[in-house]
Structure 1
Amino acid sequence: MFSASTRMTTLLNARNVVNLLKEQAQKSVLLDATWYLPTESKDGKQEFLQNRLPGAQFFGVDEAKDHRSSLPHMLPPADEFAAYVGNLGIDRNTNVVIYDRKGFFSSPRVYWTFKVFGHKNVFLFPNALTDWKTSGYGLETESPSTPAKVNYEGANMNNNLVASFEDIAQVLKDPSKSNTRIIDARPHTRFTGSAPEIRPGIASGHIPTSINIPFTDLVKPGITEPKPVEELEDIFAKHGLKDKSAPIITSCGSGVTASVLFVALELCGFTNVRVYDESWTGYGQRATQDSSLLATGP
């Protein structure tokens, strides 16, 4: 049964999803949010067309974005988000269950996007394809269904969940007077500047005062699902993150794995977390022009 207590849980498993679809099929939409790094040469949408969870729709990280920005996938304006998800059959009251083929990589970005625009009933299904199949359920292989378009009303951006360059600059203006922690989810070699960025022409290194918690430290091997909350809390505590009301900004390469950090912090009860939407792709371009913005080393 999809109970009231389940509704308070961000993470669902196959049994939860099956119960949800049995009880509220007309009010629920599964979203495949698979996205790959530019270096991976894979196409999440093409994989979706081959097979998917039954009835799922595809949410394109590079489709539902601000197309006026030169950066990879900045948040879209609220009206464009509303139009995009309305075309997927999602309205304000829909139960949205998000998964990706890696397990827990790009789906948190889409979860965060829905949260930014005020959607209440949004869930993550980690390790979805494996959990689904090992639970005895099959994948859909015929052409995906075309949903009836609906009107998504009341989408407004919650800026309390989004950080801009101006927010970063305010922290750097006088770090001694700021209690905001900036956490970088990129691999340690990119954080230190010892490895190049995956996008050409962008400086390598990190934001001064930021700390590095690679997102891979927060997930189980294979990027399948987040580690248990107790382990996550230990990781954060070792980095001095104990005050769960203190302001935190998460960053990464382009805002995708910063959202893994966002969800991990949310699972641990942190209440004042923002994702730096442009992340290093935007910041690194600025640092290429202004070396005072750049730090290297541990």
Structure 2
Amino acid sequence: MVDFDREALVSTEWLAENMKAPDLRIVDGSYYLPNEGLDPRREFEAQHIPGAVFFDIDEISDPDSDLPHMLPPPHIFSSKVRRLGLGDGLRIVIYDQRGIWSAPRVWWTFRYFGHQEVAVLDGGLPKWLHEGRAAEDGPAVSEERHFTPRANSFLLRDRQQLLAGLDDRREQVIDARRRTRFEGSEPEPREGMRSGHIPGSLNLPFTEIVDQTSQTLLAPDALRRRFEAEGLDLSRPVVTSCGSGVTAGVLALGLHRLGHRETAVYDGSWSDWGRPGDTPVETGPAGSADASSG
């Protein structure tokens, strides 16, 4: 028996054996960057795990925000997911079309809204297909189910909270972007964004805690070594960040596996902090003193 709340990860073998359980639902939480030219819903309808429904990260978001895919208000989230047949009393398994990339964002979103019985499929759709397991096409079919949202503010941070914590550093911030973006040596993919990182933050690209062959999350001992190698103190609170709040979920999932059950995600991430303005920005490797506020 897998403890979804504690382990937050299930294997393809487990899912194959349990996918017909009446209290289990499967969700494709795939997302692609705008410059990739891929439509995740179209990809879902071409091929998905049998019985899965599609969770659209951009659609299930705050309609009043000018930032990409920000968390929606509770009533909007509840309305959207209940139409997908996702609700109270269900165990939910999230996967994505890359392996482990955007599924953890959806996992974190459900946890933020109070649903604890949710886990990520280790290896995602690539591992499932590589093992020769069944797939189907076409749109999803679901029966509406009631969902009761219970927002957990401990799992969420915004710009003002991070600004307030810059001086006392009571929470560690760790960034999931690749190192060249974190250091500011590579332009940001979103037009008009400044380059660099939040002052004092650490950097662990999310790809470095995922096995790039199997697309599975590293084992707990290896996860611990990777986080500690970047200077993270696992006894202290952590906030994860990235480009727009998606792959920050991968780091949050890894930390959850190490017992950090209330790791927070900076929802706006660099798409919020890096906009033109007066938020301070550092460039260079983590720990360098090359900071500016322009």
TM over 0.5: yes
Structure 1, residues 183-204: CA drift from partner, whole Å, max 9, x if none?
1111111111111000000101
Question: Match for 1:68 among 61, 64, 68?
Answer: 64
Structure 1, residues 83-125: CA drift from partner, whole Å, max 9, x if none?
1110001111111110001000000000000000010210110
The whole-number CA distance in structure 1 between the counterparts of 2:130 and 2:189 is: 35
The whole-number CA distance in structure 2 between the counterparts of 1:145 and 1:213 is: 36
**3-state SS, counterpart of residue 236 of structure 1:** helix
**3-state SS, counterpart of residue 289 of structure 1:** coil
Contact 1:105 1:257 in 2 (8 A): yes
Structure 1, residues 192-248: CA drift from partner, whole Å, max 9, x if none?
11110000001011111111111111111168121111111001112232433x111
Unmatched runs of 5 consecutive residues or more in structure 1: none
1:143-292 matches, cutoff 5 A: 143-153=138-148, 155-172=149-166, 174=167, 177-221=168-212, 224-244=215-235, 246-285=236-275, 288-290=276-278
The whole-number CA distance in structure 2 between the counterparts of 1:9 and 1:289 is: 40
**What displacement does 1:65 show?**
0.3
Question: Match for 1:41 among 3, 13, 37?
Answer: 37
**3-state SS, counterpart of residue 72 of structure 2:** coil
The whole-number CA distance in structure 2 between the counterparts of 1:194 and 1:240 is: 22
The whole-number CA distance in structure 1 between the counterparts of 2:15 and 2:65 is: 36
**What displacement does 1:5 show?**
5.1
Contact 1:55 1:144 in 2 (8 A): no
**What displacement does 1:4 show?**
5.4
Corresponding letter in the other structure for 2:60: A
| Structure-2 change in CA distance of 1:148 and 1:46 (3 Å) | same
Contact 1:105 1:223 in 2 (8 A): no
**3-state SS, counterpart of residue 98 of structure 2:** coil
**3-state SS, counterpart of residue 250 of structure 1:** strand
Q: Aligned-pair RMSD on alpha carbons?
A: 1.7
Corresponding letter in the other structure for 2:11: N
Same amino acid, percent of matched pairs: 38
The whole-number CA distance in structure 2 between the counterparts of 1:256 and 1:47 is: 19
The whole-number CA distance in structure 2 between the counterparts of 1:6 and 1:18 is: 16
Q: Which residue of 2 aligns with 1:13?
A: 11
Corresponding letter in the other structure for 2:19: L
TM-score of the superposed pair, with normalisation by structure 2: 0.92
Unmatched runs of 5 consecutive residues or more in structure 2: 286-294
The whole-number CA distance in structure 1 between the counterparts of 2:178 and 2:100 is: 16
The whole-number CA distance in structure 1 between the counterparts of 2:52 and 2:191 is: 35
**What displacement does 1:43 show?**
1.1
The whole-number CA distance in structure 1 between the counterparts of 2:105 and 2:187 is: 24
Q: Which residue of 1 aligns with 2:25?
A: 29
Structure number with the higher helix fraction is 1
